[in-house]
């Protein structure tokens, strides 16, 4: 009897994952927690319009907060050498600049994984 439930659960997870729903909600919650708008519904509607323009497949938890990410602070990036992925990103960008590449190395965010409580 548990087989149909497992299949339904897996189908639901596949649907959500295939349509990038967890990433969309993560991005909305991230910016809501930081910006705390007076009218959250209107704010979400505005962000949904932006998601449509960007493309949902390009959304991740930091899409709307990337510019205020504490590890992206220019002073921190210039002075802190801690071996973090942000430090490695800075090193790669500096190396690209030395080679004369004008394209920067893009930061890859941690990937959201759909999980469920046990």
The pair of three-digit structure tokens given for residue 48, joined into one six-digit string: 């949904």
55 vs 82, more confident: 55
Rounded to whole angstroms, how far apart are CA atoms 7 and 12?
Answer: 9
Mean pLDDT of 5-20: 88
The pair of three-digit structure tokens given for residue 97, joined into one six-digit string: 């600049």
Mean pLDDT of 59-88: 75
Residue 88 vs residues 53, 83, 100: alpha-carbon distances, Å: 30, 6, 18
Condensed to tens digits (0 to 9), the pLDDT of residues 86-108 reads 777 778 878 888 887 765 555 55
Condensed to tens digits (0 to 9), the pLDDT of residues 33-68 reads 888 999 999 999 999 999 999 899 988 888 888 777
Whether 28 has a pLDDT exceeding 90, the answer reads yes
Sign of CA dihedral 92, 93, 94, 96: positive
Rounded to whole angstroms, how far apart are CA atoms 26 and 71?
Answer: 19
């Amino acid at each position: 009897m548990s087989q149909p439930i497992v299949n339904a659960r897996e189908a639901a997870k596949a649907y959500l994952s295939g349509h990038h729903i967890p990433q969309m909600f993560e991005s909305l919650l991230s910016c809501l927690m930081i910006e705390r708008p007076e009218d959250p519904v209107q704010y979400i509607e505005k962000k949904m319009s932006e998601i449509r323009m960007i493309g949902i497949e390009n959304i991740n938890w930091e899409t709307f907060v990337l510019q205020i990410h504490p590890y992206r602070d220019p002073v921190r990036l210039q002075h802190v050498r801690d071996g973090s992925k942000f430090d490695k990103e800075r090193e790669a960008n500096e190396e690209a600049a030395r080679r004369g590449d004008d394209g920067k190395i893009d930061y890859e965010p941690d990937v959201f994984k759909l999980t469920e409580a046990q």
